[in-house]
Amino acid sequence: MERPITGFEFDSEGDPVAVLNCGHLQHVRHNPPFINRPWVTTEEGRNSMLGEMLNCVRCDKFELPDHFVAYKRTPDFTEESLPVALRKDHSTRSGVWAKIIVGEGRVRYRVPTLEADMELSPEKIGVVVPEVPHNVEPLGSTRFFVEFYRAPV
Ligand SMILES: [Zn+2]
C-alpha cells in the first residue's frame, strides 16, 4: 500500500533509506544508469520528497516493524464484553500497529482491503496494520486483548 515518506536515514554502508509513516524503512538508492534518484544525493532533494508516497509491501504482508515497542493494551475482552465498535470496521491511527492476542478460544479477524480473513487462536496472533480498516468477531467462547505498538521515542 502507499505510505508517505516522513524522513531519511543512512544505513551502515551510507546508503539512503526512506522512513515511511508506517515505521518501515525502504532503500532509495541513486545508482545510475539502473536506478535514477538524483534527488536523494542532497538534503534539499530529500526534503523535497517528504510526504511523497512509496509502495510499502511490508505493510501488505502484515509485518510489524521490528524496532517498534508495545506501549498500551486493552483489558481482556470476551465474546460478551467485546465493544460493538470493534466488531465493525475500525482502524488504528497513523503509525500505530497492534497485535490481537488470543488467550482462549478463537477470534475471526477480517481486513477487507488486504483481502485477509483469518482465524486467530492462542497459536496465531493477529497483526493490525496502521490506518487499515478491520473487524473482529468472537467465534464462541473466547478471551483476548489488543496490544498497541509504536516507534520508540
Ligand atoms: Zn509499511
Does pTM top 0.85 for this prediction?
Answer: yes
The pLDDT tens digits for 31-47 are: 999 999 999 999 999 99
Q: 124 C-alpha to center of ligand 1: Å? A: 21
Q: 95 C-alpha to center of ligand 1: Å? A: 9
Tell me where in the chain the CATH 2.40.50 domain(s) lie. Answer: 2-60
Q: Classify domain 69-150 at the CATH topology level.
A: Jelly Rolls (2.60.120)
Tell me where in the chain the CATH 2.60.120.10 domain(s) lie. Answer: 69-150
Q: Classify domain 2-60 at the CATH topology level.
A: OB fold (Dihydrolipoamide Acetyltransferase, E2P) (2.40.50)
C-alpha cell at 22: 508506517
Q: 129 C-alpha to center of ligand 1: Å? A: 8
The pLDDT tens digits for 14-28 are: 999 999 999 999 999
**Which residues have a Cβ under 8 Å from the Cβ of 146 and sit 6 or more positions away?**
73, 74, 98, 99, 100, 101, 128
Q: 73 C-alpha to center of ligand 1: Å? A: 22
